[in-house]
């Protein structure tokens, strides 16, 4: 097989530490690849006024596969404040480079698996009958529509006249907001398309079928958000009926789902949702399996074969400058395994996952989060494994 080129985008803060270690692990596992560095993140916003420079887009277009660490994002005003002096009068507005990447390449399928690792001290436990303690085995894969909905970026404060006029044609708007001055109104839209909705639903059902999950749960709010959530559920019914009759279709509301999270998380298989609810429900499930140190994700476009693989955590700036990095690399490592699956290096992915699982189950090497410590720079002197040491332990198991 020809050698791959992977676009490595460390981004900001702890992104670099977890990505460097993951690449070291991939090398050790025998994954043959060249890595080119893609610039992304806060530094490039400050110095160039663009956190996602065109050259990075070009690299991804060319090589198709990206591994991404994490970036720092800040609100509009703070972003402007930190912009380099000579760029300040250019009318630049900060927007998230991750969202930019998703939208530029139509990475509309976001997949976030959450499964319990045996022996992880962070596993969710609950009371069972009598005075028993149960540790339910969670094995859920969340499919989140990644480019539309509430994160689609179509929003205004003090909306322009024609937008306002259009809103005034809706009787609910007239009734609830018609007397509010336009300047006081902010609007964030939630747009779902049939194309985007079909793609995420099909990806979810296909995954359920391929990996033997018995159910697909649409987690939205169709009883209230009738047009968008309602459309998604109706389309799911149709797809299930026509093409996946062997898979059960369940329907939960996002709010109720968050409550059931701790009651019966083991009952769910594949979950599919729009952009924001998918974000929420995936963080919720991630909390049951160890939190941000374990939560991985893939975002891809099945047609173009372009995919970017990243942990769901951010840049954790308060830990970024520690002399020895203390953060857990497993979320990034598992994201790299999703990359390997995507490019059909399934055996290698399985081998790395097995090594990770063994290290966790043995419990000799644990990062600070697994030891429930506060993340100070001292934790490595107090028995917690550093990022490097955890990676070493996984490599040793390969």
Where does this chain bind ligand NAI (CB under 6 A)?
18, 70-73, 98, 292-293, 310, 313-318, 327-328, 331, 369, 375
Q: Which does 279 bind (CB under 5 to 8 A by kind): ligand NAI, Mg ion, none?
A: Mg ion
349 contact choice in Mg ion, ligand NAI, none (CB below 5 to 8 Å, kind-dependent): none
- Residue 307: which of Mg ion, ligand NAI, none does it interact with, CB under 5 to 8 A by kind? none
Distance from C-alpha of 18 to C-alpha of 3, rounded to nearest angstrom: 23
User: In this complex, which beta carbon is closest to Mg ion, that of residue 33 or of residue 331?
Assistant: 331
**Shortest reach from residue 315's CB to Mg ion, in Å:** 13
Closer residue to ligand NAI (CB): 72 or 147 = 72
* Torsion region of 30: left, alpha or beta (phi above 0 gives left; psi -120 to 50 gives alpha): left
The token pair that represents 294 in the structure block:
């374990």
Nearest residue to 246 via CA among 274, 213, 223, 198: 213
279 binds Mg ion (CB under 5 A): yes
Of 11, 12, 24, residue with least CA distance to 329: 24
**Shortest approach of Mg ion to residue 23 CB, angstroms?**
24
- Using Cβ positions, the residue closest to ligand NAI within the complex turns out to be 314
Report the alpha-carbon distance of residue 18 to residue 166 in Å, rounded: 47
Residue 2 C-beta: closest distance to ligand NAI, Å: 30
Partner interacting with residue 331 (select from ligand NAI, Mg ion, none; CB below 5-8 Å by kind): ligand NAI
Which residue, 146 or 315, is less far from ligand NAI as judged by CB?
Answer: 315
Phi, psi of 157 (to 5 degrees): -110, 140
8 A C-beta contact, residue 220 and residue 232: yes
| Beta strands 215-220; 248-253: pairing state | parallel
CB of 283 to Mg ion, least distance (A): 5
Nearest approach, Cβ of residue 72 and ligand NAI (Å): 4
Take residue 193 and report the two structure tokens written for it: 């398309």
* Helix, strand, coil percent values for the chain (each to nearest 5): 45, 20, 35
Return the number of the residue (136 or 284) whose C-beta is nearest Mg ion.
284
Integer Cα distance of 44 and 49 in angstroms: 7
CA distance 127 to 245: 35
Q: Which window, 113-121, 272-280, 341-349, 374-382, contacts Mg ion (CB under 5 A)?
A: 272-280
Question: Closest distance between ligand NAI and the C-beta of residue 324, in Å?
Answer: 14
Positions touching Mg ion (CB under 5 A) are 279
């Amino acid at each position: 097989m020809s050698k791959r080129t992977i676009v490595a985008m460390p981004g900001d803060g702890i992104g670099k530490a977890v990505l460097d270690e993951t690449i070291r692990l991939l090398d050790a596992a025998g994954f043959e690849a060249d890595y080119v560095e893609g610039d992304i993140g806060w530094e490039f916003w400050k110095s160039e006024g663009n956190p996602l420079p065109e050259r990075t887009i070009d690299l991804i277009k060319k090589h198709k596969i990206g591994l991404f660490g994490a970036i720092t994002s800040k609100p509009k005003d703070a972003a402007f404040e930190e912009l380099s002096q000579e760029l300040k009068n250019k009318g630049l507005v900060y927007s998230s480079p991750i969202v930019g990447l998703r939208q530029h390449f139509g990475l509309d399928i976001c997949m976030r698996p959450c499964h319990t690792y045996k022996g992880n001290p962070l596993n969710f436990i609950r009371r069972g009958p009598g005075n028993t303690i149960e540790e339910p085995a969670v094995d859920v894969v969340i499919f989140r529509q990644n480019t539309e909905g509430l994160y689609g970026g179509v929003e205004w404060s003090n909306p322009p006249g024609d937008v306002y006029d259009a809103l005034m044609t809706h009787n609910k708007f007239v009734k609830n907001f018609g007397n509010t001055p336009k300047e006081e109104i902010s609007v964030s839209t939630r747009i779902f398309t049939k194309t985007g909705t079909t793609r995420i639903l099909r990806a979810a059902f296909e995954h359920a079928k391929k990996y033997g999950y018995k159910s697909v749960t649409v987690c939205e709010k169709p009883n209230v958000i009738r047009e968008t959530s309602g459309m998604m559920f109706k389309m799911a019914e149709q797809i299930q009926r026509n093409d996946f009759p062997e898979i059960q279709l369940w329907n939960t509301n996002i709010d109720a789902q968050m409550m059931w999270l701790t009651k019966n998380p083991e009952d769910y298989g594949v979950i599919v949702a729009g952009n924001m609810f998918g974000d929420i429900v995936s963080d919720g499930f991630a909390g049951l399996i160890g939190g941000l140190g374990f939560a991985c994700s893939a975002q891809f476009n099945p047609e173009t074969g372009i995919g970017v693989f990243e942990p769901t955590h951010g840049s954790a700036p308060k830990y970024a400058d520690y002399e020895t990095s203390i953060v857990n690399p497993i979320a990034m490592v598992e994201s790299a395994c999703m990359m390997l699956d995507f490019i059909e290096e399934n055996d290698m992915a399985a081998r790395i996952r097995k090594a990770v699982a063994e290290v966790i189950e043995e419990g000799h090497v644990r990062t600070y989060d697994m030891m429930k410590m506060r993340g100070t720079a001292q934790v490595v002197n107090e028995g917690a494994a550093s990022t490097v040491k955890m990676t070493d332990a996984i490599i040793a198991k390969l």
